Amino acid sequence: MTTAASNELFPVFLQLNQLHTLLVGGSHVALEKLTALLGNSPYASVTVVAKQISEGVRTFTKDFPGVRLYERAFDEHDLDNVDLVVVASNNPALNNRIRQACRRRHLLLNVADKPELCDFYLGSVVKKGNLKLGISTNGKSPTIAKRIKELLNDALPEEIDETLTYMSQLRDLLKGDFTDKVKQLNAHTASLIASKEDA
């Protein structure tokens, strides 16, 4: 056993286009969360409920077909038929109320910038075509997560997506049982790592 701080977060990649997300809040932080949600999943179904919805949120969401905006106070019925909840409000009592309601309903919750209220955190994301990397610092420093995103974005070649497409076609062509296929796919990709090490 090491004495390093425990890092027990389990990463997953959600098919947000198949889920219904509720976002409570409609200002600066809400816009950041919408940018993250819709930037990755443009067809996500997202209901925004906020006492005040900013012009920025209205303009940004205009072209996303799954977004609905409701300018009013949060009501517990907003949690009906929802799969995932993100809160970007400035109201600690509201945050706690939603935290408790989500526990009762077994809904997963993120309260922006409030790790102690979260079931899941958003991460920094690097995307190169079909490749997507999610970066977490276990809540220690979102700024470092952002910097690592920038670093990896520069370091990973755009052509990596061509390699992924080629490998996907190759996988479909390969014959033999599962073990054989895995062996061949590993043989084809070994050179990717080897050429880095030789360089």
Ligand X SMILES: NC(=O)c1ccc[n+]([C@@H]2O[C@H](COP(=O)([O-])OP(=O)(O)OC[C@H]3O[C@@H](n4cnc5c(N)ncnc54)[C@H](O)[C@@H]3O)[C@@H](O)[C@H]2O)c1
Binding site for ligand PQ2 (CB under 6 A): 32, 36, 110, 112-113, 115, 118, 121-124, 136-139, 141-143, 145-146, 149
Q: Residue 28 CB, nearest distance to ligand PQ2 (Å)?
A: 11
Which is closer to ligand X, CB of 27 or CB of 40?
27
Q: Contacts with ligand X in 23-62 (CB under 6 A)?
A: 24-30, 49-52
Token pair listed for 61? 């969401």
Name which of 189, 166, 165, 185 is nearest 176 in CA terms. Answer: 185
Which is closer to ligand X, CB of 88 or CB of 145?
88
Q: What number of H helices and E strands is found in the chain?
A: 6, 7
Q: Residue 80 CB, nearest distance to ligand PQ2 (Å)?
A: 24
Which is closer to ligand X, CB of 75 or CB of 180?
75
The beta-strand segments (E) located in the chain are 20-24, 45-50, 67-71, 84-87, 108-111, 124-128, 131-135
Token pair listed for 123? 């991460």
Q: Contacts with ligand X in 106-145 (CB under 6 A)?
A: 112-113
Which parts of this chain interact with ligand X (CB under 6 A)? 24-30, 49-52, 73-74, 88-91, 94, 112-113
